[in-house]
Amino acid sequence: MRIRSQRVVLPDGTRPASIRIDGGRIAAIERFADGQPDIDAGAMTILPGLVDTHVHINEPGRTDWEGFETATRAAAAGGITTLVDMPLNSIPSTTTAAALELKRNAARGKCQVDVGFWGGVVPGNEADLEPLAGAGALGFKCFLSPSGVDEFDNVGDADLQRAMPNVASLGLPLLVHAEWPASLRPVDPHADPHRYSTWLNSRPPVAEHDAIDRLIELSARTRAHVHIVHLASADALPLVIDARATGVPVTVETCPHYLTCCAEEIRDGATAWKCAPPIRERDHRERLWRALLDGHIDLVATDHSPAPPALKDLGGGDFIAAWGGIASLQISLPVMQTAARLRAIPIERLAGWMSAAPARLAGLSSRKGAITVGRDADLVVIDPDRGMAVDASRLYHRHAVTPYDGARLTGLVTMTMVGGNVVFEHGECVGPPRGELLSR
């Protein structure tokens, strides 16, 4: 099979090219005019398939929130060809090898795209980390503050000190929800819970700063690779920059919602925007963009964390009662493309942040993250200039709940290919589920 375009995003730049595919892999990258193409994308852009390393699929146990079938169809429609599932909010949480096998069994035959899995670090399970790695976990995830579900306890400092040497010896990353619990503020009982500021004030930037400060200390001591998930506060960036300059193995992600929204724009009662850490003020957003452009933030991941509409309290608008999580899996690429165009950022940078860098984090760079010979033929065709209006009812997510409902975006995914198979085109998922369950 051959697919060609006038604009193929390759590691050394964007140019006309024809991609020859054989056995699900990229067999050659040829001149645009070579051979007769099976698919001619014309002037549309071909990107490497996106890799989203922060997705809550919630199956088994909470498939009324999301599931492998719905999540991976949404991913395919959004140009995401590989996603990595978080160890919560499924029941059981993925904190043992047996639980990972249950999750893999739940996923078999349902996945439209390739799926990997993070294991969980919770108090007392440090002996489970090596078996989890042996069972295929790509790395581990923990929370420093309460996770929001009873099945996945947050770890304390002593737990980290026991677990991180094991993580280091396995050579896998430890992903951390980095809010230091002692630095969080109790919700003011006299404050209006419908006001966004009530939620924002309860999760101050210092909670992220203090957590990251301690994680850097432990990473420097143990040499465990710490990956800070969903950075919202730019105040912690100097800590990261200084640590990396001295060789501490720490990486950082942020999310589309922290880059495209700000506290000043969130209406009171608009609980679809609730997440933790919270979306902060405009100044934080601008500094996150600068850090991303300067290479101090490594990647962008969705933190797709859906829930049924009742749990988001969309009717009541109570930010304290509502579930904290944003659903954006299917639309993360156009959300980011729209923001990038406004800032004159080329689409090649998006490919780095949303494909190459997350593939490295998950240990999948030999197969994913770039259009090169030998890697999987995971490709996305996007019309970068075509506008679209988000209609939540037409998304493949389990529930029609996203804060981007009604947004006008630029950058339409027209085709997605996984392992040389077209899984999405003409606005529809096509073909049977062929997604592979990944291990390192």
Summarised one tens digit per residue, pLDDT across range 98-118 is: 999 999 999 999 999 999 999
Domains contained in the chain, CATH given = 48-411 (3.20.20.140)
Average pLDDT over residues 82-87: 99
State pTM to two decimals: 0.98
User: In the structure, what pLDDT confidence band is assigned to residue 440 with cuts at 50, 70 and 90?
Assistant: confident
Evaluate whether 423 touches 74 at the Cβ level (below 8 Å): no
Whether the CB-CB separation of 94 and 100 falls below 8 Å is answered with yes
DSSP code string of 221-283:
HH---EEE-S---GGGHHHHHHHHHTT--EEEEE-HHHHH--GGGPPTT-GGG--SSPP--HH
Q: What is the pLDDT of residue 35?
A: 78
* Residues paired with 297 in a beta bridge: none
> Across all residues in the chain, what is the average pLDDT?
98
The residue type at 225: H
Q: What is the pLDDT of residue 33?
A: 83
pLDDT above 70 as % of the chain: 100
> What is the C-alpha separation between 393 and 401, in angstroms, rounded?
8
